[in-house]
């Protein structure tokens, strides 16, 4: 008999702590089971186990793992099948607390590099969390036996062991298509591509699934491009957004923000059937918004803000409670510091005084009194001097016509190119204001996070932990990431928390690096060693991690209270 079975019989009915003795690994006919961590009581966070399936039992075709990109898609497909199998499983073990719970980190609409399923060179690892069954606080060994010998095997048999070759091949093909689209975007200098027929709107503010009955996207002729991609007979057609300054205009409720949101999310890849599977955006595009109340640490916002009351220094601006305009300025500067190639901005979530100041207001408030150089006076300089593109939703001010390369109007959810009209308007109604690019050069200095930046959570409660999608608890303080809109998956937040712990544990900040160098370093670790190395215990269940972009890692560092910089 399997030693795990014996073990469970022996501890049946004992106090819950006796479960600790089942930690270890056990051989099953088709896989090896690793019980890495056993929860302390039935209500605590669930136990961590891994199922490791040898290559010989569940072959993974060589071509499915011939490159990392394909491997991520195939692993994602397997994780989804396991999640569906768990959901369909009708009989669950019963008992107190989390008894009988079987959980896998289920992917959302995006395909992210994730630790839920990892494809190695000779095996596949699947990471589960399970609630070890109890009656009250006593071990229920019989139910535990059912979890390990009945429920888990049946979940695996209807998921990873029955996924067809076609399903996995289809995932590998989508990987190829996305890669090819990105390649062509780069070659042609497009920062975004929205395929004809895409479904952009979502069901609701809380559902990321496509809206049924939505008007499919149809590209304007002037922006329409065609590209041949692999595994598809007909070429893909759609709208290319070129590098430069792109404006999205149109009446209220005509679909402007929906288009920009799809573009924001296009930095990630979506599953087939999402409606945005062929909406892709330059991976270094960063959403910029106002974020009143955020922490700012020694950021040089002087390209936008000068002469603050009381002579506050804007070359090293620090505050625990930023205003709309200073927060938006810091968000721009920090994005550039981390290496953004394009800025995505929606008027709905911008500070008006950061975006525009019209001729009349200019006439009233003279330059020395008004601390803000609005974004409109910087947008061109950013592009010309630094090749930073912008996609901007602006239905409320035509001032931006003067500085735009391309203007798209949304009308009844359909885009039209109105660049020619806006240019004739610019000629017929010249602006009565001059642009102020003078005297405040682009300030793109690099900061260094010093080693004692992480000191705030040292001491007794030395812990960094994610809570949901948008909070990271660091000791006694909380970093709020609610307005970091391209952070989209709880497991990304989890991983950022683990990265912060890693920085502290491995004393990474002892070596002084600029923020961009630090981010490069972290990304190279992920690329070379795999994201699971950020898990708290080496070679065990790494926790539910999904790879964040460098910008979202930076967003957390930038919002830490008590960070020390030079
Ligand atoms: P705007 O920013 O121009 O004011 P939104 O993008 O917020 O408009 O869209 C307004 C509403 O229209 C939203 O509820 C959105 O879900 C819906 N919507 C957007 N695009 C489409 C579409 N293609 N088909 C159907 N409904 C859409
Ligand atoms: Mg809007």
Q: Is the CB of 412 under 6 A from ligand 1?
A: no
- Does the pLDDT of residue 49 top 80, yes or no? yes
81-115 pLDDT, tens digit per residue, is: 999 999 998 666 678 888 999 999 999 999 999 99
pLDDT recorded at residue 93: 67
Whether 415 is covered by a domain: the verdict is yes
pLDDT recorded at residue 473: 93
Name the closest-CA residue to atom 20, ligand 1. 255
**Which atom of ligand 1 approaches the CA of 414 most closely?**
23
Q: How far apart are CA 515 and CA 526, in angstroms?
A: 17
Whether 138 is covered by a domain: the verdict is yes
Q: Is the CB of 203 under 6 A from ligand 1?
A: no
Does one domain contain both 426 and 301?
A: yes
- In the chain, pLDDT over 90 holds for what percent of residues? 84
Does one domain contain both 267 and 395?
A: yes
**Mean pLDDT for the chain overall:** 94
- Does the pLDDT of residue 169 top 80, yes or no? yes
Q: Is the CB of 200 under 6 A from ligand 1?
A: yes
151 DSSP assignment? I
Quote the ligand 2 centre to 204 CA distance (angstroms): 15
Question: Which residue's entry shows tokens 């601390």?
Answer: 371
Which residue from 199, 204, 250, 253 has its CB within 8 A of the most atoms of ligand 1, so it is best to mutate?
Answer: 253
Domain edge (last residue) among 395, 424, 445: 445
419-477 pLDDT, tens digit per residue, is: 999 999 999 998 877 776 555 678 778 999 998 888 766 655 568 999 999 999 998 88
276-311 pLDDT, tens digit per residue, is: 999 999 999 999 999 999 999 999 999 999 888 787
- Does the pLDDT of residue 323 top 70, yes or no? yes
Mean per-residue pLDDT for 218-241?
97
* Number of domains composing the chain: 3
Does one domain contain both 518 and 544?
A: yes
State the pLDDT confidence band at 358, using cuts at 50, 70 and 90: confident
Does one domain contain both 110 and 218?
A: no
Q: Is the CB of 349 under 6 A from ligand 1?
A: no
Q: Is the CB of 269 under 6 A from ligand 1?
A: no
CB-based contact 70:15 (threshold 8 Å): no
Does one domain contain both 420 and 328?
A: yes
Does one domain contain both 417 and 455?
A: no
Whether 322 is covered by a domain: the verdict is yes
State the pLDDT confidence band at 145, using cuts at 50, 70 and 90: very high
pLDDT recorded at residue 89: 85
Does one domain contain both 325 and 441?
A: yes
Does one domain contain both 415 and 510?
A: no
Quote the ligand 1 centre to 255 CA distance (angstroms): 4
Does one domain contain both 137 and 199?
A: no
Question: What are the structure tokens assigned to 57, written together?
Answer: 């039992």
Tell me, what's the ipTM? 0.99
CB-based contact 240:225 (threshold 8 Å): yes
- Does the pLDDT of residue 478 top 70, yes or no? yes
Does one domain contain both 153 and 227?
A: no
Whether 253 is covered by a domain: the verdict is yes
Distances (CA, A) of 430 to 239, 248, 277, 454: 30, 21, 42, 52
Three-state secondary-structure class, residue 171: helix
Does one domain contain both 36 and 148?
A: yes
Whether 61 is covered by a domain: the verdict is yes
Q: Is the CB of 548 under 6 A from ligand 1?
A: no
526-557 pLDDT, tens digit per residue, is: 999 999 999 999 899 999 999 999 999 999 99
Domain edge (last residue) among 445, 463, 491: 445
What stretch of H or E contains 502?
Answer: helix 490-505
User: What's 245's domain CATH number?
Assistant: 3.40.50
User: Which range of residues forms the domain containing residue 42?
Assistant: 3-163
**Alpha-carbon 334 to chain mean position:** 17
E-state strands within 164-314: 190-195, 202-204, 207-210, 224-227, 236-242, 245-249, 269-270, 279-281, 285-288, 296-299
Does one domain contain both 276 and 258?
A: yes
Whether 377 is covered by a domain: the verdict is yes
Q: Is the CB of 100 under 6 A from ligand 1?
A: no
Whether 564 is covered by a domain: the verdict is no
Whether 178 is covered by a domain: the verdict is no
Domain edge (last residue) among 445, 464, 480: 445
């Amino acid at each position: 008999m399997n030693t795990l079975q014996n073990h469970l019989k022996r501890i049946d009915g004992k106090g819950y702590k006796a479960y600790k003795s089942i930690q270890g690994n056990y051989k099953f006919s088709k896989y090896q089971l690793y019980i890495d961590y056993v929860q302390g009581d039935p209500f605590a966070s669930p136990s961590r186990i891994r199922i490791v399936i040898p290559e010989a039992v569940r072959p993974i075709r060589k071509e499915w793992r011939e490159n990392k990109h394909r491997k991520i898609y195939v692993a994602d497909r397997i994780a989804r099948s396991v999640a569906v199998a768990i959901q369909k499983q009708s009989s669950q073990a019963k008992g107190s607390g989390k008894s009988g719970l079987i959980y896998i980190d289920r992917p959302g609409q995006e395909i992210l590099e994730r630790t839920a399923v990892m494809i190695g060179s000779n095996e596949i690892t699947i990471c589960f969390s399970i609630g070890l069954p109890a009656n009250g606080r006593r071990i229920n060994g019989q139910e535990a036996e059912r979890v390990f010998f009945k429920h888990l095997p049946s979940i695996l048999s209807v998921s990873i062991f029955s996924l067809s070759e076609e399903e996995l091949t289809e995932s590998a093909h989508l990987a190829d298509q996305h890669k090819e689209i990105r390649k062509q975007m780069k070659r042609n200098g497009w920062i975004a591509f929205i395929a004809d027929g895409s479904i952009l709107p979502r069901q609701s503010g809380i559902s990321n699934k496509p809206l049924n009955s939505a008007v499919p996207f149809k590209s304007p002729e002037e922006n329409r491009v065609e590209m041949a991609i692999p595994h598809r007979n007909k070429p893909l057609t759609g709208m290319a957004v070129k590098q430069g300054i792109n404006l999205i205009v149109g009446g209220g409720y005509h679909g402007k923000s929906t288009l920009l949101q799809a573009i924001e999310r296009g930095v990630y890849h979506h599953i087939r059937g999402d409606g945005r599977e062929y909406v892709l955006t330059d991976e270094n595009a960063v959403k910029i918004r106002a974020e009143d109340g955020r922490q700012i640490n020694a950021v040089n916002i002087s390209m936008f803000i000068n002469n603050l009351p009381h002579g506050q220094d804007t070359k090293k601006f620090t505050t625990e409670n930023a205003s709309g305009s200073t927060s938006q300025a810091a968000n721009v500067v920090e994005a550039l510091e981390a290496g953004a190639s394009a800025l995505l901005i929606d008027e709905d979530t911008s500070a008006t005084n950061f975006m525009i100041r019209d001729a009349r207001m200019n006439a009233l408030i003279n330059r020395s009194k008004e601390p803000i150089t609005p974004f409109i006076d910087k947008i061109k300089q950013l592009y010309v001097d630094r090749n930073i593109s912008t996609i901007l939703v602006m239905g409320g001010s035509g001032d931006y016509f003067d500085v735009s390369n391309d203007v798209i109007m949304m009308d009844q959810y359909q885009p039209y190119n109105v660049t020619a009209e806006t240019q004739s308007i610019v000629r017929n109604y010249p602006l009565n204001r001059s642009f102020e690019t003078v005297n405040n050069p682009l300030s793109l200095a690099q900061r260094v996070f010093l080693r004692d930046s992480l000191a705030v959570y040292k001491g007794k409660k030395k812990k960094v932990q994610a809570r949901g999608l948008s909070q990271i608890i660091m000791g006694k303080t909380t970093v709020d990431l609610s307005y970091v809109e391209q952070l989209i998956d709880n497991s990304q937040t989890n991983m950022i928390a683990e990265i912060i712990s890693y920085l502290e544990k491995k004393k990474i900040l002892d070596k002084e690096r600029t923020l961009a160098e630090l981010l490069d370093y972290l990304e190279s670790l992920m690329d070379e060693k795999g994201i699971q190395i950020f898990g708290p215990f080496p070679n065990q269940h790494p926790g539910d991690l999904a790879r964040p972009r460098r910008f979202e890692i930076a967003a957390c560092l930038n919002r830490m209270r008590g960070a020390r910089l030079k």
